[in-house]
Every structure is written in structure tokens, then in C-alpha cells.
Amino acid sequence: DIVMTQTPLSSPVTLGQPASISCKSSQSLVHSDGNTYLSWLQQRPGQPPRLLIYKISNRFSGVPDRFSGSGAGTYFTLKISRVEAEDVGVYYCMQLTQFPWTFGQGTKVEIK
């Protein structure tokens, strides 16, 4: 199974400041079709998960442009350009390149 490792596991940030989360996979996430199926999800407190980013850097419908994804191969990053109060929650990276699909441990973003 592909192991996904996120850092940090906790990220206290100041409102209006940037935040960054890293995700490393135990093997390349490049699929045989040439795509890299790495997604980022947000889970606000008491809410279901919500897809933010798919295929490394594509924002899902309705996702604010302060969220961006980057990376390649085995190393990926989610950046929030200016953190807002509604961004508090746990963020997960997820690989869909190979079954079983696997998640990172989650990174808790909270306001300082």
C-alpha cells in the first residue's frame, strides 16, 4: 500500500497569514495514464470532508482561489495564501493512483 505522510500534524496560524502543508508518498503517484491522482480534502469541525484540490493542482468547484496545490512524483504541497477563520479544520492528502486509496494522517489548522 502507498503510505502518505503529512507534515506538520498541527499548524497554528495567524489570520491573514499563509499556511502550508506537505504530503509525501512512499512511491510515485504518477499513474500509467500519465495523470497524478493526488487530492486534498478539508474537514471542518463537525462537518463531512470536502474536496478542495484534485490531480495535484486543480481546484474543485466553489473552492476559493486562496487554496492552491503543487508538487510532483512523491512530494506535494497545499498552500493557503491568507488564512481565514472558516479555514479552521483538518486537511488530508489522499492518493487515488493505486488501490487501496490511502490518506495522510491529517493536519489540524487552527488560529493562533
Q: Give me the least distance between CB of 54 and other proteins, in Å please.
A: 7
Of 16 and 45, which CB lies nearer to other proteins in the complex structure?
45
- Rg of the chain over Cα atoms, rounded to whole angstroms, equals 13
Q: Is the peptide bond before 100 cis (omega within 30 degrees of 0)?
A: yes
Of 18 and 64, which CB lies nearer to other proteins in the complex structure?
64
- What is the C-alpha separation between 48 and 43, in angstroms, rounded? 6
Q: Give me the least distance between CB of 99 and other proteins, in Å please.
A: 5
36: left (phi over 0), alpha (psi -120 to 50) or beta: beta
Q: Give me the least distance between CB of 18 and other proteins, in Å please.
A: 24
- Give the footprint of other proteins on this chain (CB under 8 A): 41, 43, 48-51, 54, 60, 90, 92, 94, 99-106
- What is the C-alpha separation between 84 and 97, in angstroms, rounded? 31
Q: Give me the least distance between CB of 75 and other proteins, in Å please.
A: 20
Tell me whether residue 62 is exposed, middle or buried, using C-beta atoms within 10 angstroms of its C-beta: 0 to 12, 13 to 18, 19 or more: exposed
Of 7 and 105, which CB lies nearer to other proteins in the complex structure?
105
